[in-house]
Structure 1
Amino acid sequence: MICMSNKIKHEIETIEIPGELHDRAKQGVKQSKAEMSLSKRLIGNRAVTFSTAVIIVFSLLIGSTFVSPTMSAILAKVPFLSNITASEPIEKVMTEELNELGFKVHRVDESPYPKKIMYVAIDGTETYYEDVKSEVKKEAEDILQAHSYDAFSVKTERYNRDEEIVTEDEMMEDLSEETKQYVNESNILMEEIHQKFEEKGFSIPTFGVRHNQYDHYVTVDVPDTEKRTAEIKQIIRQVIDSKDFGEFDIKLNIFNKERKELEMAISSKVISPLHEGLRARKEFHTKGMAYSFHPLPLQIIVKTTIDSSDKDAKEIAEEIETTVEEFLATEEIQKVMKDEPYKIIVRSSDQKKIN
């Protein structure tokens, strides 16, 4: 039986699946049931298992670190980003280059946030793995350096094909009975709400159900051009009341289409490459990034590993802020930002603003 960490259990318990992804996620579930298999990603010596539906949802919601070829030109104009791989995710680049060197590398995976480790899964026998692991590690480190990922370390592991497949039932076995019930009830609500919206002719961009030991509510994104909000609430309430799943709140998120498109563009074309570049370099001591449009202005938050009491904290924070400003001032990024006001915040490891 595959053991799932408490953190992963918590993530599954609290995940909210948007309605617009429902059909695609549902198809993933059907496929996984038909094949009775799941994809398992190996991270270090730990095995983390996700159901096909969850993988689909995360992929659609978050996407990869892929940056379009257009972004290559943008990145090249800012010194610290000039060598960051812009056309392909660094994991894919490493996998391809290691295989070109003649090694049997199945894949390269980045460790879960906030760690900065690249795990190289080597295919082949135990003897082959022992023979090449040191050389693979060195070559992988050289590739990272060549692409300016000097903040990342490398670990190797032997790819075990036999452990790659695990059934959906096995995955569900590791969840608590309470969580299984929440998952099943959430699926039922999603199915019926989706069906009712279709019957009534509503075109809802996204809706989601959050149902776990902490929260119980349905969220719906409604364009500000849609005036039938009372009817939308009524449809959801009727579905909820027809079940014995407890009390649920209904939250309508009214949005402006143009505004939402702008925020999505900034997220993917501005925040994503910044996050990639700052985390890649040691000199920026960056653990991760966050951003928020609400309330305005846009807050661009750089989370560092520096303590606020460090004598170099202010100098490093100023360097980070200057670098971000240079990036935001490029012509291509200005076209994406469209005069969006912003504020740069550099935070210390003890959660203090240091710029």
Structure 2
Amino acid sequence: MENNWKYPKQVKKMKFTEEHQDKVFYGLNNLNKRKNKSRKLLYSSVAAIFIILFSFELFVPYMSNVFANIPLISHFIKEEEQNREEMEKILELVVPIVERNGTDLKDLNIMTETKEVSVKLKGYSGDYEDIAQNIEEHLGNNGFQEYTVKAIRYEKEESQSKISPEESKEWKQNMEDAKKLKNTLKKRLKEKRYELLFPVSVRINDTEGVFVNVTVPESETRIKQLKDILKKEAKSYEDKVKLDVRQVQKIAREQEKRWEKTNAISHIGRALMEAEHLPVIGFAYSFHPYPLQIKIKTSLDANDSDASEIADEIRSEINVFIQSNEKNKSIREDKYRIIVLSKDKNEID
């Protein structure tokens, strides 16, 4: 997933990274969803992770009547872009004031819906109300009169676990060994002409010993030889070896990579979860097996008179977004399945 955030030079050190290779799944059973249109941006020295609940009607692309609906998801994306631009401008205005006061900005929490800015400062010896007022006035002079600012002292959170120097040294050694083993396996498997559909994954620790995960096409027949190579190389580090060799459909992985480039799954999930008029409380997806499966949990009773109509609206919003958004050209011909579920996890037709 491409990171589209543009940061001022003076705050690049605060830039977040976004991990997208690993899917983030919420349990659908006990999810207590809250509708909240407030957009929050938290700048911190610790990386932030946006957690969205992600993971069937078979959909084959069609164009008739698909543009008759309002593109809710595309509107959501545009709104997020506008909020992001606003947040970045506010950040650019706050940083110089903090620097002039000789303090360190550790966290900046911007809430565009409630128009609040929370500034956490480290090493500031002055009056917090004064610097908050200075920032608020500066924002007001630059077009952000509606924002209120609160400045507070940054308190370093206590670490829940104490790591001894010996444990830290062992952890670093395990990380180095895992990296070496990963590179060795990549080289060996390339020599043997194995096609890897996902990057080789290696972990080394006291609990598992050496854990190796490799994913190859379902058409691959040399699985025993593959495991022998993995085990032989892994045992040069630890006697205890755990292998996880998976086979998946190549067509499914190819579809997954196309969708990852568009960020469509993330947009769909976030937009539906935040839409106040839609009773969506859970969202999951899976590319394996082919085709893509999208599962949406709602708070609806399957016997409600309007349940089918609302389910159709949800399906339509997804279809309209995929077919109409400019960035989705590469996935418009893809097949995918949508299931809208009731609160009891029964499919709503």
What is the correspondence of 1:184-223 to structure 2 with a 5 Å cutoff? Answer: 185=174, 188-198=177-187, 202=191, 206-209=199-202, 217-222=211-216
Aligned length: 272
CA apart distance, 1:298:
2.1
SS at match of 1:340: coil
For 2:74 and 2:133, how far apart are their aligned partners in 1? 35
Which structure shows the bigger proportion of residues in helix conformation? Answer: 1
Is 1:317 matched with 2:293? no
Cα 1:283–1:245, aligned 2, differ >3 Å: closer, same or farther? farther
* Native 8 Å contact 1:222 1:254 kept in 2: yes
The percent identity for this pair of structures is 22
Is 1:264 matched with 2:257? yes
2:119 equivalent among 111, 115, 122: 122
CA apart distance, 1:338:
5.0
* Native 8 Å contact 2:108 2:120 kept in 1: no
For 2:289 and 2:215, how far apart are their aligned partners in 1? 18
CA apart distance, 1:263:
1.9
SS at match of 1:122: strand
What is the correspondence of 1:335-354 to structure 2 with a 5 Å cutoff? Answer: 335-354=329-348
Select the structure of larger CA radius of gyration. 2
Aligned to 1:173: 162
Larger relative contact order (C-alpha < 8 A, sep ≥ 6)? Answer: 2
- C-alpha RMSD of matched pairs (Å): 5.6
CA apart distance, 1:321:
2.0
- Which ranges in structure 1 are unaligned for 5 or more consecutive residues? 1-14, 19-41, 63-74, 144-153
- Which ranges in structure 2 are unaligned for 5 or more consecutive residues? 1-18, 23-40, 53-66, 99-104
CA apart distance, 1:296:
3.4
What is the correspondence of 1:1-355 to structure 2 with a 5 Å cutoff? Answer: 78-86=70-78, 92-99=84-91, 120-122=117-119, 126-128=128-130, 131=133, 158=152, 160=154, 163=156, 173=162, 185=174, 188-198=177-187, 202=191, 206-209=199-202, 217-222=211-216, 231-244=225-238, 246-253=240-247, 256=250, 260-269=253-262, 270-304=264-298, 306=299, 308=301, 311=304, 314=307, 315-330=309-324, 332=326, 335-355=329-349
SS at match of 1:248: strand
CA apart distance, 1:200:
7.2
* Native 8 Å contact 1:186 1:211 kept in 2: yes
For 2:344 and 2:209, how far apart are their aligned partners in 1? 29
* Native 8 Å contact 1:172 1:180 kept in 2: no
